[in-house]
Structure 1
Amino acid sequence: MKDKFVLALVLIFSLTVFSQQPKLKDIFNGRNLNGWIVPTNNIWWSAENGMLIGKSDPEKKGSILWTKNEFKDFEFETEFRFGEGTVDSGIFIRNDKQQIQLGISGALKRDMTASPYIAGLGYPVEAHNINRILKPKDWNTIKVIAIAGYYEVWLNHIHVMSYTSESFIEQGPIGLQVHPNNEMTISFRNTKVANLK
């Protein structure tokens, strides 16, 4: 029943997209962390030269930077660039149990960019042709659409993944991650979101 409901939502959304493109709004202003919930004693996140930079701390505790706003159905788009170290990051969808991976999976020891990580399931599906599409030393664009538990991802404007989660949260913030136990940096820019109604 839940799957049929999600499928119906997806079909309605698809018809809407063809008739009207969602209006993306900036959620990073390029100058500071306004609009984000900044961790206490923040040493992970900074804004420099129009970029949002995540960097591991000396003790490798890691961090998640959450939006202040919460979202139900949404389209999220950002450019990202891997920096130093072993980059293990992600885009969290409404909570810290479901994300779209960016970089190396700590569990699988290989790049799983654009694949969904679901707590308790690991990576239920793998994004297609990432080794051909991803630019490891340059800027990449990723777009994530989340409609209830239905997730779609485009990497550098190429559709690479669809997945339906049965354990999704209906509403919550969007998060960016610096994974624990890693030395790494990752940069984001042109970070935008649109509510899908």
Structure 2
Amino acid sequence: MKVKNFISILFLTISTILVTNANAQDGWENLFNGENLDGWIQRNGEAEYEVVDGEIVGTTVAGTPNSFLCTEKNYSDFVFEVELLVEPNMNSGIQFRSLSLPDYNNGRVHGYQCEVDPSERAWSAGIYDEARRGWLYPLDLNPDARKALKMGHWNKYRIECIGNSIRTWLNDIPVAHVIDDMTSEGFIALQVHGIGNNKEKEGEQIKWRNIRIKTENLVPDFYSDIHVENLVANNLNIVEKKQGFHLLFDGQSTDCWKNANTGEFPEQGWQVKNGVLTILSSRQDSSKKGGDIITKEEFGPFEFKFDFMYTDGANSGVKYGLGNNGPSIGLEYQILDDEKHPDAKKGVVGNRTMSSLYDLIPSSKERRFTKGPNEWNRGRVVVYPCGKVQHWLNGRKVVEYTRGDNIYKALVARSKYAGFEGFGMAEKGPILLQDHHDTVHFRSLKIRNL
């Protein structure tokens, strides 16, 4: 053996021993010994995984699906850290609390994934639900974090899972915060994304090193003020409370709401059941219609989050900017079955479709970020003090405009609201949930003043 090679191996061995001892003293456990893949098992695809110079190297292979190098052990609550170096055109991810079950897509790995995305999209450390629900936290929700990944350098990822709180960091920058209770335990896995049959992408590599986990005496890291995507129904977590959110519906009480015309909550037409507030269909008997409901509280600038589920062919909406033209005339976040309701084809260039500013601005949404009938969608309306307004759907911004500017005035002048003076310009008003005769479900209604 050459002296140079011997010294390199000796240095690597000593470094590994020192790091292992240091980690053990503060509760960290190394998941990779720097020498081989003991403690790991490969699932699904046939990408190449090997150990080179104390690093795990993953290499793309054509003609095989996503590949996952998985820990043999499962983990529930933990803090996980890894350093990785990824090539510019490659996609990867870190699975956690993930599963591979014979009765789920023939053992397809599924569960939470911390994204590795060196593309122009730059959603690294966003949270994706692999082979299940899709994107939970795209970086539209935290655009400042899109610059966190450093190309050509080693990047430090950190994942914290404590209870239903899931948080990620990239190079010490807070990136994503999801509250979710779908899966509480599972393995960790290093993904090499499939490349189909594209031979030109074969041989691309990602490298991982310094892989460690801590599972005892966990203390949540400092809570940053980034957006929280809370998927637990009718729940406020500690960060949302600090940000000023409060529930408008807690799953049981309708105390925050009243009929838009009578001032009392409707005796019929609305139902609270299993933590869900539901408009009941009155298509067959209009006398059973409950009518629109509005919040008892009025709001100026605000951020309103809401989950909604529409049924086949349904129509409803969330209205705001009310007060200048009666109790029910205002700006509307459209809720609609675009495939089956005829209103989707009316208006101009789709400005009556799902999540649009009704009859004014069409939403710019992608099909894969839109859930269909009888599935929960996550809506969000933000009205800023400066007049800027945004509509969000499932973590993506789909509408943005400035209330009261010349473009807004021109849009109103060409809409069905042209005859309403000061349309949508009330400085303060309630939030309205529209009864359009169709069954639509709501939950997780929460709001804060801005």
Specify the TM-score bucket, using the shorter chain as the normaliser: 0.7 to 0.9
- Establish whether residue 50 from structure 1 lines up as the match of residue 307 from structure 2: no
- Establish whether residue 59 from structure 1 lines up as the match of residue 59 from structure 2: no
- Establish whether residue 99 from structure 1 lines up as the match of residue 332 from structure 2: yes
1:20–1:47 Cα change, 3 Å? same
- Within the candidate set 73, 77, 88, 2:315 is matched to 88
Maintained 8 Å contact 1:77/1:144: yes
Maintained 8 Å contact 1:32/1:46: no
1:62–1:116 Cα change, 3 Å? farther
CA distance in structure 2 between the aligned counterparts of 1:107 and 1:128, rounded to whole angstroms: 17
Maintained 8 Å contact 2:267/2:290: no
- Within the candidate set 148, 157, 162, 2:400 is matched to 162
Maintained 8 Å contact 1:88/1:106: no
Residue type of the alignment partner of 1:177: Q
RCO (CA 8 Å, sep 6+): is it higher in 1 or 2? 1
Q: Deviations over 1:64-103 (max 9, x none)?
A: 110000000000001111124x211111103122111111
- CA drift at 1:193: 0.3
Q: Deviations over 1:44-63 (max 9, x none)?
A: 21211100101232117672
Residue type of the alignment partner of 2:357: P
Structure 1 unpaired stretches of 5+: 1-18
Q: Deviations over 1:6-62 (max 9, x none)?
A: xxxxxxxxxxxxx84632211102113111114565322121110010123211767
- Establish whether residue 78 from structure 1 lines up as the match of residue 306 from structure 2: yes
Maintained 8 Å contact 1:114/1:153: yes
The residue aligned with 1:193 is 447
Please identify the structure whose Cα radius of gyration is greater: 2
Q: Deviations over 1:126-155 (max 9, x none)?
A: 111253321013111011101254310111
Structure 2 unpaired stretches of 5+: 1-223, 227-242, 323-328, 347-351, 405-422
Maintained 8 Å contact 1:64/1:175: yes
- Within the candidate set 243, 250, 260, 1:29 is matched to 250
Q: How many residues align?
A: 171
Moved more, 157-166 or 105-114: 105-114
Identity of aligned residues (%): 30
